[in-house]
Each structure stands twice: as structure tokens, then as C-alpha cells.
Structure 1
Amino acid sequence: MALPFDRYCMEITNQTDQLRAVIDGADLTTAVPTCPGWNVGQLARHIGGGQRWAAAAVQRRVQEPLPDDELEFRDLSLYVNEEPVELDFWLGVGAAQLAGALAAAGEGLPLWTPVPTMPTSDFYARRFANEVVVHRADATLALGKDYAVDAEVAADAIDEWLELGSLPVMFEHHPRTRELLGPGRTLHFHATDGLPDQHADWAIDLTGDVITWRRAAEDAAVTINGPLTELLLVIYRRRPLAEANIEILGDRELFEFWLDRVSFG
């Protein structure tokens, strides 16, 4: 993992607390454009429900999936009109439960996870930290507020997205992803505000039989330059290209094609 296990546990509560601050006093019925069909209150329920599900999985040391009826708040239509005070407290409890369960389990504990190649507690720590990072962006932007995230956290969220998207199993779950492969198809993301020791460059290679990526600054068919947080929002499709503060050099069509085909999350 790019960040220490304890850091992920801390970020689960830290990012959730920042989300709570963003929605404090806000209109929770505000629609979330990047999560079609949800309003801000429903988005918060999705986050807290997922955290409780993950906490249960870690606490029980699961070796197989939890029953479907334990997927809390799957039907978000029940949470159209949220009570702000109740929701705020509920979010805090869910984050604390998951962070506490992970801390008690420790790093590297063998567990069932939705991604068979990542079968330990590390998966839950990283995935649910970055889950809040990105969904906090959804809520923040929907409410017309400025979004910011720590550079290390933003870079790790990009790493995880690229790592999950390059898994060969994605070809089975999302066959359209295979259409990305072809000669000469390479991309380079460069964070213009990245510090030298962050190595905030990503090279993506689509020229082989599988998708590969690495932290590197390399010549590519298309290069995307922009602030780290902006790259995060664009890669996760939280910021439309027309509104993004980025520079695209080279094959723009390849970049747009890549964005369309990796929208698996």
C-alpha cells in the first residue's frame, strides 16, 4: 500500500469529519450530479451504510460475502428527506466503527474481499478511505463549495483507481474496457503542483494484452497536466473536461476514450 495502514484508518474518520463539516447547515435535498438519482443526504447514507458493512466484515473476520440483507441502505429512496442532526451523528458513528474495527484487526489480516487479488484487511482500509475522499468531492461540488484534499491522499486515490482499473478481471466484468488496448496508446498524467519527492506522474500503457501503469514521467500519445486535486477529479470523472483546469497535449480523443472506458466505479 502506498500509505501506512494506520494512515488509512485515520483518513476514514478524517475524511468523514470533513464531509460532515461540508454538509453542516446545507440543503440535504440538493441533487448530486456526479451520482445521478441521489441527493446529498442519500449520498451520506450510502457512505455511512458502506462503512457499517465493511466494519461488520472486518469484525467478523469474514471468509465469504456477508448476506445481501446486511447491505445497509441499499434502497436510498427511503432517505430523501434527512434530519441533519441525526445524519451528522450517524455518520460519525459509522466512521468510528470502521476505523476501530480495522485498528483491532491490524494490517494484513486474511479476509474475504470483493477483489480476490486483495484478500486482506488492507483492502478495506484503503478502499473505504478513498471512498470517502471521492464521495466528499461529490457532496462538496454539488453544494457549490471548494474541494481540497491532502496531496498524499489524492495521489494514493489515483494509484488505487489505476490499480483496480488495470486488473485483468475487469475485462470480464466490463468487457468494453478491453477496447482500450491498441498500438501507440499511452497516456501520461503530470501533477503541476507535485513535489519532487511525491513522483506525481503516472504513465499508462495500453499497447499490450493488459493495461499497465506506473509512477513515471514518460513520453506518451497524450499528456494531461494539471494540479493534483484537479487530476483526481478528472480521472474519477467528478469534473467534466470542459470545466477542468487541465492542459491536454496530444491525442485528446484517446484521453476521452480512456475516461469513457474506465468508468467502472
Structure 2
Amino acid sequence: MGQVTENNARSADQATENGAGGGRIAHIETEAARLAALAGDLSVPVPTCPGWTIADLITHVGRTHRWAVHVLRDQVREKIWSRQVPSGLAEGQSGDAAWLMEGAAELLDTLRTTDPELEVWTWGPDRRAAWWPRRMHFELVVHRVDAELALGLDPVVPAGVATDGVEEFLHNLPHAVWVTRSLAGLGMEGATIHLHASDGEGEWTITQGPTGKITWARGHAKGDAAVQGPVSELLLMIYGRRSPGDLTVHGDRELLDRWLAAVDF
């Protein structure tokens, strides 16, 4: 795969959004149903989200869906967070599978009927409605994985989805201020981390910049730390759902561990 910078990748990313919009919405529908099917015993602890149970996980995802619906339907252009949007739950009440699917249905209807070029608020770099389907897709993928791990199941993320997920994460990371604050405190400016998908699904080099922000490029390069493994495992690692010890690590393992701890969503 040739060298492509994060900035130059924008046109390719937009083409993906526009060309596969229906496919992404179908993925959201599938992932929501899969997560709801896992919401049987809501009291099960979720180790990858310390302090949470399945009930907390379902509540978080359902609130996130309602947040996206509110931003898109009301064409919100000022910063607003999910806790500021009514969820339909009483104070202290948790969501369940039916409540999750109700919000997912509303989200799907909203995504299908909203102009992707509509200007709305996002916490990422794109101020268009098209930003939301991709973000909601991977919100569901990662939390479905959380539920599966909690229940002792082996999660599967298709390689093509995982590749898109790695790039969605890197695309948004410089704009996640709660993460860049943590990265800024590491004193790692100029450090590089290379991700290499062993199943041929891509390579990426992340460079730590000033004020905690990152830049990234596609393609082969040498990093201060490098991680090799299936792209689905790389995705789960950057989200803190897999240990780098489960993959092949070269170079500065301590640097890698510190960086992963700082980017924990």
C-alpha cells in the first residue's frame, strides 16, 4: 500500500462514506441487533469497561444513539454531549434490549433521511452529518465486543470493517481533547508507532506531535514501536480491548504501553 497522509486521505474517506452509506447503515442495524441479543443478564460485569455491567453498557450505547438523533434532527451546530439529551429513562434507570433497539430504530431512520452534507456539530474534524454514521458504527462494534468478552465469547470483526475502524480512530483522535490532554503529558513528541496488519489489510505509522496531537500516514515505515497482527486485533488493541502482549511487538514496548494507556477511550 502506497504512502497516503491523513490529510490526503480525506477524499478517499469521503468516497467511502458516499459510496457505502447504505452499507454502513446496514452494518449499524446488524451490530445493534447483535448487541441487543447479548443483553440477557444485565448484571454481568464488563471487564473491558471497569465498573460497568451489561446494563451500563446498553444504557451508554442507547444514550449515544439518542444523542446522534438529536444532533441530526435538530440540526445542532453548537457543542452538546449525550448527557444533555433526554434518554426516555427515569433517573437511575438502566436501559434494556428493547430500549436499545427503540433508539437504534430511530437512529437508522434519521440516518436514512438526513442529507450527509448537512452542517451539524460533531466532536471530530468533519462538521457534516456524514461523520455520524461511521462513528455510530464503530461505537457499536467496540461495545458489542465488550459484551461478547464479558460473556466469554470470542469476538469477530471482519477485516474490512476493522481496517476502516483503525482509520476512523486515527482520523478522529487528534480532535478528542480528553485524549490529547493525556498524550501531551507523556513527553513523547516525535515518537512513532507503526501498526502492521499481518493479514495484508494495511499499515499505518502514527507520529506524536505537539500539544498531544497526532499525525498518521498509510504505508510501510519503521517506528520506535511496531505492532504486527491481524487487523481486527490491531483495532481492538488501540481501543484497549486487546493487550499488545497478544500480538507481535518490536521496539520500545514501554513507549507503546504508555501511548495506549493515554489514548484509552
Q: Same fold (TM over 0.5)?
A: yes
2:236 is matched with: 233
Instruction: Report the CA distance shift for 1:173/1:39 in structure 2 as closer, same or farther (over 3 A).
Output: closer
CA contact (8 A) 2:174 2:180 kept: no
Residue 41 of structure 2, aligned match among 18, 21, 27: 27
CA contact (8 A) 1:107 1:122 kept: yes
User: Which whole-Å CA distance do the structure 1 matches of 2:33 and 2:58 have between them?
Assistant: 12
Q: Which amino acid aligns with 1:130?
A: F
2:181 is matched with: 175
User: Which whole-Å CA distance do the structure 2 matches of 1:7 and 1:211 have between them?
Assistant: 29
- Measure how far apart 1:241 and its partner are: 3.6
User: Which whole-Å CA distance do the structure 2 matches of 1:78 and 1:139 have between them?
Assistant: 19
Write out the 4+ residue segments of structure 1 that deviate beyond 6 Å after TM superposition.
Answer: 73-76
Q: Over the residues paired in the alignment, what is the CA RMSD in angstroms?
A: 2.5
1:224 is matched with: 227
What secondary structure is seen at the aligned counterpart in 2 of 1:232?
helix
2:3 is matched with: none
Q: Which runs of 5+ in 2 are unaligned?
A: 1-12
Q: Which runs of 5+ in 1 are unaligned?
A: none
Q: Which amino acid aligns with 2:263?
A: V
User: Which whole-Å CA distance do the structure 2 matches of 1:227 and 1:46 have between them?
Assistant: 28
TM-score in terms of structure 1 length = 0.83
What secondary structure is seen at the aligned counterpart in 1 of 2:226?
strand
What secondary structure is seen at the aligned counterpart in 2 of 1:160?
helix
User: Does 2:156 align with 1:148?
Assistant: yes
CA contact (8 A) 1:50 1:72 kept: no
Residue 110 of structure 1, aligned match among 119, 127, 132: 119
Instruction: Report the CA distance shift for 1:76/1:202 in structure 2 as closer, same or farther (over 3 A).
Output: farther
Q: Which amino acid aligns with 1:112?
A: W
1:178-212 deviation line (CA, Å, top 9, x unaligned) = 235334x2111111123xxx4x1111122677521
Q: Which amino acid aligns with 1:78?
A: Q
- Measure how far apart 1:7 and its partner are: 2.6
User: Which whole-Å CA distance do the structure 1 matches of 2:214 and 2:205 have between them?
Assistant: 11
Instruction: Report the CA distance shift for 1:66/1:241 in structure 2 as closer, same or farther (over 3 A).
Output: closer
Instruction: Report the CA distance shift for 1:261/1:19 in structure 2 as closer, same or farther (over 3 A).
Output: same
What secondary structure is seen at the aligned counterpart in 2 of 1:166?
helix
What secondary structure is seen at the aligned counterpart in 1 of 2:156?
coil
CA contact (8 A) 1:177 1:262 kept: yes
CA contact (8 A) 1:32 1:39 kept: yes
CA contact (8 A) 2:227 2:244 kept: no
1:62 is matched with: 76
1:158 is matched with: 166
Instruction: Report the CA distance shift for 1:174/1:223 in structure 2 as closer, same or farther (over 3 A).
Output: closer
CA contact (8 A) 1:188 1:201 kept: yes
Paired residues for 1:1-265 under 5 Å: 1=13, 2-3=16-17, 4-23=20-39, 26-65=40-79, 69-72=84-87, 77-79=92-94, 87-115=96-124, 117-167=125-175, 170=177, 174-178=180-184, 179-183=186-190, 185-194=191-200, 198=201, 200-206=202-208, 210-242=213-245, 244=246, 246-263=247-264, 265=265
Q: How many residues align?
A: 246
Instruction: Report the CA distance shift for 1:56/1:205 in structure 2 as closer, same or farther (over 3 A).
Output: same
Q: Which amino acid aligns with 2:119?
A: P
CA contact (8 A) 2:58 2:97 kept: no
What secondary structure is seen at the aligned counterpart in 2 of 1:218?
coil
- Measure how far apart 1:71 and its partner are: 4.4
- Measure how far apart 1:6 and its partner are: 2.5
1:44-86 deviation line (CA, Å, top 9, x unaligned) = 121112112211221122223458542427998532xx7xxxx
TM-score in terms of structure 2 length = 0.83
Identity %: 33
